[in-house]
C-alpha cells in the first residue's frame, strides 16, 4: 500500500510539473534586444543623438517590411549619422509571442520598435496598457488617412505610425475573362452578383475557378465585404455585431453561392493559393496590394493580369467598391531606452517624407496611409505586368473611399467563431441565421458577455 502511495505521489508530481511547467512561459531572453538597450543607457530618454545609437526593430517580411524599415534607417541617418537601425527578422507569429512574453515580464527583452498588424494592435494596446509609448504629441498625425489613425489609436490617444494600407483590390486574368465572353469594362465597379455570373461563364468556357479563398479560414472575403459597407464584427462602441450584421449575412450567402456554383477554389495554404494563381487554375482573387508581388512571380503571365475595384453588395445601403484588408503600423515600446529617438525617426521619416514613400512604393508596392504620398509622379507609373495599368493610382483611389471601422481587440476570437459557424453553412447543414446565432453565442461565450 505504501509503495503504491509513493508511486501515485510521484505520478502526480510528474504530471503537475510536466504540464504546468511548460505552460508558465518564461520571458524569452533576447540577447540582441537587451544588449542594444544596455549599450545605450547613456541616451536614456533623450533625443540627443550625438552618441552612437542603434535602434532595434522587429518585423517579419524579408522582401517587404524589413527592407522598408532598413531604408527608413538610411533616410534618418542622413540627418542623424549616429543613429543606425537594425531590423531583426522573425516569423510574424513569433513577433507576437515574443513581444507578449516580453510585455508580460514587464518590458524585458523587447526591441525599440515593433511592427503590428492593425487587426491585432488593439488587442495589445488594451491588454498591455501603458506598455506602448504615446506618440500623439510626438508624431505629426495631420496627414494620415483617418481610418489608419483609428486603427493605431486607443481611447483617443495614438500609439502607432501607419506603415501600409491594404486597399482591397480585385486581381483578375483578363485573357480568361475575355475567353468567357466578357471585357475589362465589365469588371469595373461591379456587384458580387455580376461577379458570380462572370465566374460561371469562366468556369464553363475555360475550366478555371473564378476566385480563390483559404479553405481553413474564409474570413478574408468576409472582412473585405464587411468593411466595404462600414460594418465589422463589432460596432463602433465595441459591442458584438454579428446576428444583425447584414454584411455577414449577405457575405455568407454570396460565398455559399460561389461554392455551389463551383467557381470557388479553396486553397489549403498560402503556398497552394500562390500556386493556383500562378498556374491558371484560378482566374481572380480579392486581396491587398501585396498580392501583386505573389502574382508577378509567374513571369510568363506578364500582361495577362489586370486589377479592378472590389465588387460590391447590390442591395446594401452605403455599399462601395472599396474596402481594406489589414495593413500594419509601427509601435514604440514604453520600456525602450531610445523611445524618443525611435519616435523621432518615425515622425521624420514616416510623417514628413513623401520621397521615402515614393521609394518604398516603387520598390515594394507598399501603399501608405500618408495622404501627401498618395498622389504625385510615382502614381503615373504604368505597370507592364498589369497591361500598363496605373496600379498605384487605383490603390490610392480605392483608399480614399474606404469606410472606417473600429476593429477592436478581439478580431482573432471573432474570426474563429465565424469560421466555425460558416463551415456548417457551406456544407449545407446550417441555415445562415442559425449559423450567425451560433457564432454570436460562441463569441459572447469567449468574451464573457
Partner 1 sequence: MKKRTKKLINYNAYGWFFVSFALILFCVFTIYPAFESIWLSFQTFDEGAFRFSGLDNFKRMLGDKLFFKSMANTFLFLIIQVPIMKVLALSFATMLNKPKLKARGILRTAIFLPCVTSLVAYSVLFKMMFSMNGIVNNVLMSLDVLSESFQWLQNPIWAKIIIIIALTWRWTGYDVIFFLAAMQNIPAETYEAAQIDGSNSWNTFWKITLPQLKPIILLTMIMSTNGTLQLFDEPMNITMGGPANSTLTMSQYIYNQSFVYSPNLGYSATLSYVIVFIMIILAIIQFRITGDDAK
Residues of this chain, 155-194, that bind partner 1 according to CB under 8 A? none
Near partner 1 by CB under 8 A: residue from 35, 216, 400, 434? 216
156 or 448: whose CB is closer to partner 1? Answer: 448
- Side-chain half-sphere exposure of 153, counting CA atoms within 13 A: 18
Closest to partner 1 by CB, 274 vs 423, is: 423
DSSP at 316: S
The count of other CB atoms within 10 Å of the CB of residue 410 is 20
Measured from the CB atom, the residue of 267 and 307 that comes closer to partner 1 is 267
Q: Smaller CB distance to partner 1: residue 264 or 320?
A: 264
Q: Is 433 in the site for partner 1 (CB under 8 A)?
A: no
Helix, strand, coil shares of the chain as percentages rounded to 5?
Answer: 50, 15, 35
8 Å CB contact between 171 and 389: no
Which of 48-56, 143-151, 198-206, 415-423 is the region at the interface with partner 1 (rule: CB under 8 A)?
A: 415-423
Burial category of 128 from C-beta neighbours within 10 Å (exposed 0-12, middle 13-18, buried 19 and up): middle
Site for partner 1 in 244-273 (CB under 8 A): 266, 268, 272
Residue 44, classed as helix, strand or coil, is coil
Q: How far is the CB of 325 from partner 1 (least distance, A)?
A: 19
State which of positions 14-33 bind partner 1 (CB under 8 A). 15-21, 23-26
Across 96-242, the runs of DSSP E, i.e. the strands, are: 113-117, 153-154, 157-158, 160-162, 169-173, 209-214
Residues 74-113 that bind partner 1 (CB under 8 A): 93, 96-97, 100, 103-104
Pairing relationship of beta strands 209-214 and 282-287 according to DSSP bridges: parallel
Nearer to partner 1, 80 or 131 (CB): 131
* Residues 138, 344 contacting (CB under 8 angstroms): yes
User: In which residue are the cell numbers 445562415 written?
Assistant: 432
Binding window for partner 1 (CB under 8 A); candidates: 7-15, 167-175, 360-368, 392-400? 7-15
- 206 lies in the binding site for partner 1 (CB under 8 A): no
**In the set 3, 41, 156, 377, which binds partner 1 (CB under 8 A)?**
3
Instruction: Based on the shown chain and the rule CB under 8 A, indicate whether residue 442 belongs to the binding site for partner 1.
Output: yes
The size of the interface with partner 1 (CB under 8 A), counted in residues, is 51
The sheet with strand 282-287 has its strands ordered as: 264-267, 209-214, 282-287, 169-173, 305-309
Please tell me whether residue 71 binds partner 1 under the rule CB under 8 A.
no
Near partner 1 by CB under 8 A, which window of 55-63, 358-366, 395-403, 438-446? Answer: 438-446
Side-chain half-sphere exposure of 83, counting CA atoms within 13 A? 29
424 binds partner 1 (CB under 8 A): yes
The number of residues making up the chain comes to 449
282 sits in which H/E element: strand 282-287
Q: Report the residue from 50, 185, 448, 449 that binds partner 1 according to the rule CB under 8 A.
A: 448
Among 378, 388, 332, 385, smallest CA distance to 135 is for 332
Q: Residue for cell digits 541617418? A: 77
The residues that touch partner 1, with contacts defined as CB under 8 A, are 3-4, 7-8, 11-12, 15-21, 23-26, 93, 96-97, 100, 103-104, 123, 126-131, 215-217, 266, 268, 272, 409-410, 412-413, 416, 419-421, 423-424, 441-442, 445-446, 448
Amino acid at each position: 500500500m505504501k509503495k503504491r502511495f509513493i508511486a501515485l505521489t510521484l505520478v502526480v508530481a510528474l504530471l503537475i510539473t510536466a504540464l504546468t511547467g511548460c505552460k508558465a512561459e518564461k520571458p524569452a531572453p533576447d540577447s540582441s534586444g537587451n544588449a542594444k538597450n544596455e549599450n545605450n543607457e547613456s541616451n536614456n530618454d533623450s533625443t540627443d543623438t550625438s552618441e552612437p545609437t542603434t535602434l532595434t526593430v522587429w518585423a517579419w517580411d524579408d522582401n517587404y517590411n524589413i527592407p522598408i524599415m532598413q531604408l527608413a534607417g538610411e533616410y534618418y541617418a542622413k540627418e542623424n549619422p549616429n543613429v543606425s537601425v537594425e531590423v531583426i527578422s522573425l516569423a510574424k507569429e513569433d513577433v507576437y509571442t515574443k513581444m507578449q512574453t516580453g510585455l508580460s515580464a514587464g518590458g524585458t527583452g523587447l526591441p525599440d520598435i515593433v511592427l503590428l498588424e492593425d487587426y491585432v494592435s488593439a488587442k495589445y494596446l488594451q491588454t498591455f496598457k501603458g506598455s506602448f509609448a504615446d506618440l500623439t504629441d510626438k508624431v505629426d498625425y495631420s496627414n494620415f488617412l483617418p481610418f489608419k489613425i483609428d486603427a493605431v489609436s486607443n481611447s483617443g490617444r495614438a500609439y502607432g505610425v501607419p506603415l501600409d494600407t491594404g486597399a482591397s483590390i480585385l486581381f483578375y486574368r483578363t485573357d480568361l475573362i475575355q475567353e468567357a465572353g466578357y471585357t475589362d469594362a465589365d469588371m469595373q465597379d461591379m456587384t458580387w452578383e455580376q461577379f458570380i455570373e462572370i465566374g460561371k461563364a469562366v468556369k464553363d468556357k475555360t475550366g478555371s475557378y473564378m476566385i480563390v479563398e483559404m479553405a481553413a479560414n474564409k474570413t478574408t472575403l468576409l472582412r473585405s465585404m464587411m468593411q466595404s459597407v462600414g460594418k465589422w464584427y463589432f460596432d463602433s462602441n465595441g459591442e458584438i455585431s454579428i446576428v444583425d450584421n447584414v454584411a455577414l449575412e449577405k457575405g455568407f450567402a454570396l460565398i455559399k453561392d460561389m461554392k455551389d456554383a463551383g467557381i470557388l477554389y479553396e486553397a489549403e495554404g498560402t503556398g497552394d493559393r500562390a500556386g493556383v494563381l500562378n498556374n491558371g487554375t484560378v482566374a481572380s482573387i480579392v486581396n491587398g496590394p501585396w498580392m501583386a508581388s505573389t502574382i508577378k512571380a509567374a513571369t510568363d503571365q506578364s500582361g495577362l493580369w489586370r486589377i479592378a475595384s472590389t465588387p460590391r453588395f447590390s442591395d446594401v445601403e452605403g455599399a462601395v467598391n472599396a474596402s481594406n484588408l489589414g495593413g500594419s503600423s509601427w509601435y514604440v515600446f514604453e520600456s525602450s531606452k531610445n523611445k524618443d529617438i525611435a519616435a523621432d525617426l518615425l515622425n521624420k521619416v514616416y510623417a514628413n517624407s513623401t520621397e521615402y514613400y515614393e521609394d518604398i512604393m516603387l520598390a515594394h508596392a507598399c501603399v501608405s496611409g500618408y495622404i501627401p504620398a498618395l498622389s504625385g509622379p510615382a502614381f503615373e507609373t504604368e505597370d507592364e505586368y498589369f497591361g500598363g495599368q496605373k496600379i498605384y493610382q487605383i490603390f490610392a483611389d480605392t483608399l480614399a473611399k474606404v469606410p472606417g471601422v473600429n476593429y477592436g481587440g478581439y478580431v482573432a476570437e471573432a474570426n474563429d467563431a465565424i469560421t466555425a459557424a460558416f463551415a456548417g453553412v457551406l456544407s449545407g447543414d446550417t441555415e445562415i441565421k442559425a449559423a450567425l446565432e451560433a457564432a454570436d453565442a460562441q463569441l459572447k461565450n469567449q468574451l464573457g458577455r
